[in-house]
Amino acid sequence: MPIFEFVCTECEEIFEDLVLSISKIDEVVCPTCGGSKVKKKMSTFASKPAAGAGSFSLGSSSTPSCGSGSV
C-alpha cells in the first residue's frame, strides 16, 4: 500500500494519499478544495542502510576528490 504524492491542478495544493490499489489513483480528490483533477508527482523514497553498514560522508579528507589536481 504505497503513499503517493499528488498536486491538485485546481488549487495547486500538494498532498500525500495512501492508495490501496493502482486502479484507485483516479479516485483521489484534493483534501483542500475537493477537486478531482489531481496529478501524481514523482517523489523520492527513503531507505534504511543494512545492519553493520558503515557511515558515508561527503568531503572526507582521507579519500581523494575530483578536481584535486592529482592524477
pLDDT in single tens digits along all 71 residues of the chain:
688 999 999 999 999 999 988 889 899 999 999 999 999 998 676 677 776 666 555 555 555 555 555 55
Is residue 21 in a domain? yes
Please tell me whether the overall predicted TM-score, pTM, comes out greater than 0.75 for this model. no
In the chain, the number of structural domains is 1
Is residue 23 in a domain? yes
Is residue 68 in a domain? no
pLDDT for 14 equals 95
pLDDT for 42 equals 84
Measured in Å, how far apart are the chain's first and last C-alpha atoms?
A: 49
Residue-range definition of the domain harbouring residue 14: 3-40
pLDDT for 11 equals 97
pLDDT for 13 equals 96
Is residue 70 in a domain? no
Contact 43, 4 (CB under 8 A): yes
**Separation CA 20–CA 8 (nearest Å):** 19
